[in-house]
Amino acid sequence: MKKNIFVILLTFAASLFSNAIPAFDETLHDSWAQRFEMDELLFEEKSEHQDISVFRNKLFGRILAIDGIIQACEKDEFVYH
């Protein structure tokens, strides 16, 4: 599968900074990706069925990701209900 040029450029740009902030990259489609700064990694575990990550981001609060896909975050949690 061909990688999106945006993802390649984003990865390259991030590598230019030696003190880069840890980030969570989410690629939903070949033409769509987004990056979240990880201010603090709260939980990370690979179970038999899925990869689970919970991290804190100053804009979105706590964020839950399963298998590399954002599932929920504090900032827009009200939308889910």
| Alpha-carbon span 4 to 62, nearest angstrom | 28
Q: What is the pTM of this model?
A: 0.70
More confident residue, 41 or 11: 41
- CA–CA separation, 55 and 35 (whole Å): 13
Element (H, E) at 65: strand 61-66
**Residue ranges of domains in the chain:** 5-80
Please state which CATH class domain 5-80 belongs to: mainly beta
Question: In this predicted model, what pLDDT tens digit does every residue of 26-68 receive, in sequence order?
Answer: 988 888 889 999 999 999 999 999 999 999 999 999 999 999 9
What is residue 78's predicted lDDT score, i.e. its pLDDT? 84
Looking up tokens 């993802």 gives 7
